[in-house]
Each structure stands twice: as structure tokens, then as C-alpha cells.
Structure 1
Amino acid sequence: MSGHGTPLPMTARKSPPLKGVAEVPGDKSVSHRALILGALAVGETRVTGLLEGEDVLDTAKAMRALGADVARQGPGEWSVHGVGTGGFAEPDNVIDCGNSGTGVRLIMGAMATSPITATFTGDASLRKRPMGRVTDPLALFGAEARGRKGGRLPLTLTGAADPVPVTYEVPVPSAQVKSAVLLAGLNAPGQTVVIEREATRDHTERMLRGFGAELSVEEDGPRRVITLTGQPELVAQTLAVPRDPSSAAFPVCAALIVPGSEVLVPGIGLNATRAGLFTTLLEMGADITFENRREEGGEPVADLRVRHSPLTGVEVPPERAASMIDEFPVLSALAAFAEGPTVMRGVKELRVKESDRIDAMARGLEACGITVEEEEDMLTVHGRGPDGVPGGATVASHLDHRIAMSFLCLGLGAQSPVRVDDASPIATSFPAFEALIGGLGGALSRSNS
């Protein structure tokens, strides 16, 4: 599957029980950061388990364009010879980040305090996404951004020649914004401080410490104050990337949807800032056990054993939203099979993802016979029980990999087939999705008519 070019329609049909082992890819968030910090370190960083989806491969290309030596050694095995903090070179060409909001925003942060200029673009979906939320705080360091109306791509960023440290309170819960500011702070003298009103995924903080940066975190209830001392010499590392909980969400939810299923999903990262979906599923009555708990690459990991379960709708508290922001689309699909309403609050960030995910899920669910209620910051799905989802619709993916995979999972348990107009964006994060679901017994087919 390709995330660019000719659309790839795909259909999911009511499936027999899903059985087997679901080997999901490496964590996308960790993979991006491993390449970027490896490129800013001194020496050779070795990475295993790297996600080789298009989003991460575009970040690898960007690191090469900025002067790092990035090479694939084997499946999931990569080496990065870094240029040191502040060592990025000016790229010869435009940097194309494809579909990846994480990639482009973190790369902008990493180069914003070096005296170079780079122009960034992406696919049609990425060019619609707001970049001002990152370029505004980067301007405080002295960087200058010139883009399309609304701060959208294509955008040219000129890094600060004489960067200054900043103190910045992130206005919305966003790990991308926080991480961009911290990466910019690496090449600024003194201390850069980021204040979060509520915690978001902390992979950047963990990995910065692992590479040798001086970083402290003070917590006061949900509020976090992160202080980074600038201009460290980052030391190359050997990193094992845990498997992606956001990708694991799809076989986990598919197994819960399809009667008789039992699936093992090994090696899943259970960082507390990413595990909100699993907490929610357990509250709904999901039969999930966490086996062989351990630590890999500085992250907590376990094997997930998932069995089909009768589910009950729940209310997801808004303070949990940041820990499962990417999982709300598939939770919405799963909620259609629960008894009663599932209420998701604090989710307005979904409106500025690869698509307006609240609107995309609401319209697709309605087409499949599910009643929904939608507000700016809330989505309610009125579940019809395990045998009550009609399906029978063609839904739009809106160039969004998570929308496409969510409706294909829904189709595995619906009464009538569910067709997604374009499944090609799935390749950006989960290239093996089709083969993995098929290997478990899921009825997926490519359909061009």
C-alpha cells in the first residue's frame, strides 16, 4: 500500500473468529525521535525495531538532507551517524514530510536554533494542517517562518543565528509542540522551560535523558514543568523501539469486535502517557491480560492477550484524552458494538489531525447505521450491541490512515460489508496492516469497483 498516488479501495466483511499472533510495527513516536536525536548526537546511534512506514522513512530522508548519515542495515535495523547539537547543514532541496505532522513539527524544532534555512512541504493532508502552533513558539528562539495563509505548508523556516532560551506554556495538550520546543532548546544557551497544563506522551523527555541531556520534570497534579539545559553534547545510543500501542489498538479492537476471537499482541509499549485506550477498554469490560511485563528501550512493555468480550458504553474523562488521542477513531468504531452510549470528551485536538477525525468518524458511523452526537470537543457513539451494527456503506478515509483502519475493523463485525474509499494512507504508519489482519483470519479485500 502507498500513501500517495492512486486510491486503493478496500472492503472488510463479517469475519470468522480472529486467531493468532499480531506482530505490530515499532512505535512511530519513538521511531521519529530516535532518528532525530541520533542525528543530533555525536557518534553512531544503532536502532532496532524501527517502524519502516512512510512517515518515519520521510524523517530518515530529512535527516540525510540535513547532513546526518542514515542507513538501513536490515529489517528494522538502522544506523545514524550524527552531526552533533547545532550541526545541521542547509539542505539542497525542499524537505517533503509526506503525511507526517509529527515528523515535520519535530524536524522544524530540531533545526530552529541553527543558522540555516529549509523549506518544508507534505502531501495534500499535511498541507492543510496548522503549523503556527509550532512556528509561533519557535519564533521566540529567534527563528523566522514564512508559509501559506494560516501558517500552512509549504513553509520556509530560517533558524536563529543567535538563539535565546525560552519559557513556554503549551496552550493545548500537544506532545508535538512540547517536543519541538525542547528540541529547539538543545542548541540555545541556558535553560529552556516548557510548561504543560496536562501531561502528554513523554517519549522526548525520556529519550533526551538517554542521550545525555540535562532535563528535569516537576509535576504538580496534571501540570508539568520541564526544564532543559541547552547545548549539551548528546552521546550516541543503542535503542530498541517498543511496538506501537497506537498500531496495536487495531488488532486489539478487532479481536474484541469479532465473536470467538483470541489474539496475542506481543511487545506493546505501555508508557502511562500512551495507555489510555487500554484503561478505557478494561472499563468497558474487555478481556485483556497483560503478560510478561518488562522494560525495553527505557519504556514499559507487555504482551497483550485479547479475547472477544461483551462491552458496555462508558464515559471517557477529558483528562484521559491526551493519553489516547490517536486511538479515539478506533474506539469510536468499537463503541458501535457496545451496549449503550460511549461519551468521549476533551477531544477537540482530533479536529486538526490528518483529517477532522471527529467529523470523519461521525459521518462514517452514521452511514453504517450508528447514531452519533457531535460537538466541537465531544463525540458520543450510541452502541447497538455485538450483533447490531448494520454496516453496508462506503466511507471516506480523508487521506487519514487511522480513519481507514478504524472502519475496516468495524467492517469485520458489521452485518454488511464496509468499504473504505482509499486505504493507501495506511502505509504511512502500518504497512503490514492488511497482511496482519488477513493472517488472523480477517476478511479484507481490495476492491476497485
Structure 2
Amino acid sequence: MTNPKSPATLHLSVENQTLEGVAQVPGSKSITNRALLLAALSKGETTLSGCLVSHDTLLMAEALRQFGVEVSEVHPESVTVKSDGTLKPPAEPIFVGNAGTTARFLTAAACLADGTTVIDGDEDMQRRPIQPLITALNELGFAAESATGCPPVTVTGGAKEIAAKVGVDAGLSTQYISALMMMAPKLANGLRIELKNAGALDGAGYLDVTTRIMAEFGVNVAEEGAGWNVPNGAYASPTYAVEPDYSACTYFWAADALSAKTITIGNSKEGETAQPDAKALDVIRMFPNMPAIVDGSQMQDAVPTLAVLAAFNETPVRFVGLKNLRVKECDRVEALREGLVRINANLATVDGDDLLVNGSPYLVSDAPTTQIRTFNDHRIAMCFALAAIRLDGIIIENPDCVQKTFPNYWDEMAKVGMVSELTD
């Protein structure tokens, strides 16, 4: 696992272990990208509000423009999407950076375009698996291929004799299922999606997010047995409001737990969301007596936050259900272990896919400064900033990687009292 050269580092400090005030979180990346795609597949004009404006969502918007959809400038107050409900083959390859949702959702959606689409990404994206989705699309009757099982992917879509049922191996990501669900109403007979690997799905809550948004756009998915029935139908929603990002909320919930004073979030509504990471609040409220075992399989993006919080817990915490974290923007299990042991050599170990954090409320760093490698992963950068509440000398490499999902993260941390010094 490599760490791209960092153009800058950010030295963080917090006076008297105290943050205080009100923070605002952006719109959900997961919901913004789903809403943009469903608006593009709707006939007519859709107005979206509350959208996240970030690297990933800008890539989705630009990709949809390449498919012939009119998408206005992405702005949190309003985004207008105009479409005839179809996608046109793009003239050039679509670049998705390291945006997993964009890559996987558009690989399936590209089957609806009558022609060939190439979807490619950066070096990190080219290591992220997509073969199970490719296999499912070929079994349906489309033509999709990748030399490596990762992007770049070439998809040939259009009118074909398409099967009405498909099995998918979603062991690596539920995004494969969401991708199939969202394109399925455009198929003449709809689609029955079945699991090839029956059993518990890591990140299953994101399927609830997908089906809820689809319902608001007029298509109801029925869960039946080990699968889902998606009817043929037309998407339409003249307006849609994107929820705040509860993955982003975890940083401020944990900051409040670590701070000597109180931090609140001005625009979240706990208990009114299907976003899986909202479940992390129950664990955070238990600090400094977090459970001995935390299952991260159903709140995957919250695990980095919880792991750094666990560094200051009264007792050790073992994080389990982490296998899918190894194929995120980086290998997050290893990135978390490395960052924690850079703080203190005895702080963390990895056992298979489990992460054991040997926390202590009296934790001290091994050195006056600790430089955290982010591996260009926004969640690694944001979670390790929390360590600066209790420890001096935390330095974050490549702090701009937060542009992926939370561009003003450092500004919001500054609002509640975190001091940051940028150095070249």
C-alpha cells in the first residue's frame, strides 16, 4: 500500500482538550450520487436540494453529462437535472477518480446506453474490485469486460434479449446490488436479483438507502427471500431533498465524546435516517466504556472514527467484520493500524481482518509529533484529526483528500476550536 506524495501537511492542536460549539455537516455522498443517477433516469426535470458538493459528486455529475443528461452546477441549495429518461453512449471514456459509487452505479447504468461505454479511474480505483458486477451483467445478456476485474471496464449496452433474473456475489460490496437495482426498472421485464452468497451482507443498510430513494422516485422494490424484485417502471420526482451525511456526523459525535465541553451538530436528525453509520452513535455514547467487541460490518465508514475513539477507551476494543474495509479507498484496516502504532507502538494490532485497539484514557504518544499517512483516504485523514483533541503533535499528511466527501471539514473543526497550521 503506497502513500501518494503529499503537497502539504496539517499540524493540529486543541487547547485544554476542549472543543465547543455547533458544527454543520454536508449532504450525504451516498444519497447525492443515487439521487443524481435516478434524476438522470427520470423523464423531465428534477430539482435536488441538499446535495453534497465534493470530488465524488462532481465526477458523477460530469459523467451524467457525458451520457447526454443536462446537469446544472452542483450546489447545495439546488441542482437541476433535465433528461428524457435515457442515456446516450459517451464519446470519451468516463473518468471516476476513486469514487466507488460512481464507478459501480455507472457500470450498470451504462447497459442502458445503446453503444459502448468505457469507465476508468485513478490508480487506486484500478485496484478496487468490480468483477462480481461484471459477471452479473454478462449473465443478464449485456457485454461487460475488464482485464483485471477492476476498472477500466468496457460495457456494451442497448436493446438485447435480457434475462429477468440474475444472481450476484455481493460479498465485497452491496454497491453491486444497488447498481443493479437502480438500472432494473428500465428493463422490459424488471429484474429479480438474488444473492449467490446467501447470508449476512456487510453494509446491508445501504440497500435500505437505495430502496428508499427509489421509492421516492416512484419505483418500489420488494424484498423476498434472499433477493429483491424490482418491477419495470418509470422514475419521476420533481423535487428531492438529500439528507445530511451521517458518516460525517460520526466525527463530531466522537469529538464531543473526547472534548471537555460540548459539540452539537446543527443539521442532523438522529433516528430519522436509513444511513447505516447512524448506528455508530450508540457505540460512541458508551465511551469511555465501549464494548469489548464492535462489529463494523453494518457501519463500515464509521469504523475509522470508532477506532480512533477506542484509543482513549478504558479497555481494549476488538473491531470485527472488517473484511470489506480492505477494498475501500485504501486498505483501511492496515491504514488504521499503522496510524495508531505511529502514535504509540503498543496501541493496535491486526488479527486476520480484525483490528484490536489497546486503548487507555492515559494514552501518551511515543514522540513529540506523530505524522499520520492518509493514503489519500478522506476517512483516514478525518478520523485521526480526532486524536489531536487529547494528544499534542498530530500531523495529517495530504489534508486536501477530505475533498472527496467533506470539503470544508477543517473549517468546521476550526469553528469548534481546533487549530490547524498548514505547512508545505
Give the structure-2-normalised TM-score: 0.90
- Residue 71 of structure 2 contacts residue 79 of structure 2 at CA under 8 Å; is this kept in 1? yes
Farther off after superposition, 187-196 or 101-110: 187-196
Aligned counterparts of 1:410 and 1:55: Cα–Cα separation in 2? 26
2:223 alignment counterpart: 217
Distance 1:413 1:261, change over 3 A: farther
1:245 alignment counterpart: 246
1:205 alignment counterpart: 211
Distance 1:262 1:6, change over 3 A: closer
One of 381, 404, 408 as aligned partner of 1:404: 381
Matched, 1:281 2:256: no
- 1:218-233 matched pairs, under 5 angstroms: 218=224, 225-230=227-232, 232-233=233-234
Q: CA deviation at 1:440?
A: 0.7
- Deviation string, structure 1 residues 52-103 (Cα, Å, up to 9, x no partner): 011001100011110111113754310111231xx11011111111221111
Equivalent AA in structure 1 for residue 335 of structure 2: A
- Residue 27 of structure 1 contacts residue 51 of structure 1 at CA under 8 Å; is this kept in 2? yes
Q: CA deviation at 1:116?
A: 2.2
Matched, 1:337 2:312: yes
Farther off after superposition, 189-198 or 378-387: 189-198
1:326 alignment counterpart: 301
2:243 alignment partner, SS class: coil
Structure 1 alignment gaps of length 5 or more? 286-310
- Deviation string, structure 1 residues 266-325 (Cα, Å, up to 9, x no partner): 22463263422112223x24xxxxxxxxxxxxxxxxxxxxxxxxx12313454xx34310
Aligned counterparts of 2:317 and 2:76: Cα–Cα separation in 1? 40
- Residue 252 of structure 1 contacts residue 265 of structure 1 at CA under 8 Å; is this kept in 2? no
Q: CA deviation at 1:108?
A: 1.1
Distance 1:266 1:214, change over 3 A: closer
Equivalent AA in structure 2 for residue 359 of structure 1: E
2:329 alignment counterpart: 354
Distance 1:274 1:168, change over 3 A: farther
1:29 alignment counterpart: 30
Distance 1:73 1:112, change over 3 A: closer
- Residue 15 of structure 1 contacts residue 413 of structure 1 at CA under 8 Å; is this kept in 2? no
1:67 alignment counterpart: 68
Structure 2 alignment gaps of length 5 or more? none
2:355 alignment counterpart: 379
1:47 alignment partner, SS class: strand
Q: CA deviation at 1:209?
A: 1.4
2:84 alignment partner, SS class: coil
Farther off after superposition, 129-138 or 343-352: 129-138
Aligned counterparts of 1:239 and 1:40: Cα–Cα separation in 2? 14
Farther off after superposition, 111-120 or 96-105: 111-120
- Residue 221 of structure 2 contacts residue 231 of structure 2 at CA under 8 Å; is this kept in 1? yes
Matched, 1:123 2:122: yes
Distance 1:171 1:155, change over 3 A: closer
Aligned counterparts of 2:155 and 2:217: Cα–Cα separation in 1? 26
Aligned counterparts of 2:370 and 2:294: Cα–Cα separation in 1? 31
Equivalent AA in structure 1 for residue 128 of structure 2: R
Equivalent AA in structure 1 for residue 411 of structure 2: A
Select the structure that is richer in strand.
1
Q: CA deviation at 1:251?
A: 1.7
Aligned counterparts of 2:390 and 2:366: Cα–Cα separation in 1? 9
Aligned counterparts of 2:100 and 2:15: Cα–Cα separation in 1? 34
One of 417, 437, 444 as aligned partner of 2:393: 417
Equivalent AA in structure 2 for residue 10 of structure 1: L
2:317 alignment partner, SS class: strand
- Residue 273 of structure 1 contacts residue 322 of structure 1 at CA under 8 Å; is this kept in 2? no
Distance 1:15 1:316, change over 3 A: farther
Distance 1:361 1:431, change over 3 A: same
- 1:81-230 matched pairs, under 5 angstroms: 81-84=82-85, 87-149=86-148, 151-159=149-157, 161-162=159-160, 163-172=162-171, 174-195=173-194, 197-198=199-200, 199-201=204-206, 202-218=208-224, 225-230=227-232
Equivalent AA in structure 2 for residue 337 of structure 1: F
Equivalent AA in structure 1 for residue 405 of structure 2: S
Q: CA deviation at 1:446?
A: 1.4
Equivalent AA in structure 2 for residue 93 of structure 1: E
Aligned counterparts of 2:359 and 2:74: Cα–Cα separation in 1? 47
Give the structure-1-normalised TM-score: 0.85
1:7 alignment counterpart: 7
1:104 alignment partner, SS class: helix
2:42 alignment counterpart: 41
Aligned counterparts of 2:39 and 2:21: Cα–Cα separation in 1? 35
Q: CA deviation at 1:371?
A: 2.0
1:444 alignment partner, SS class: strand
Q: CA deviation at 1:213?
A: 1.5
Equivalent AA in structure 1 for residue 24 of structure 2: E
1:443 alignment counterpart: 419
1:52 alignment counterpart: 53
- Residue 337 of structure 1 contacts residue 388 of structure 1 at CA under 8 Å; is this kept in 2? no
Equivalent AA in structure 2 for residue 12 of structure 1: L
Cα RMSD after superposing both structures: 2.2
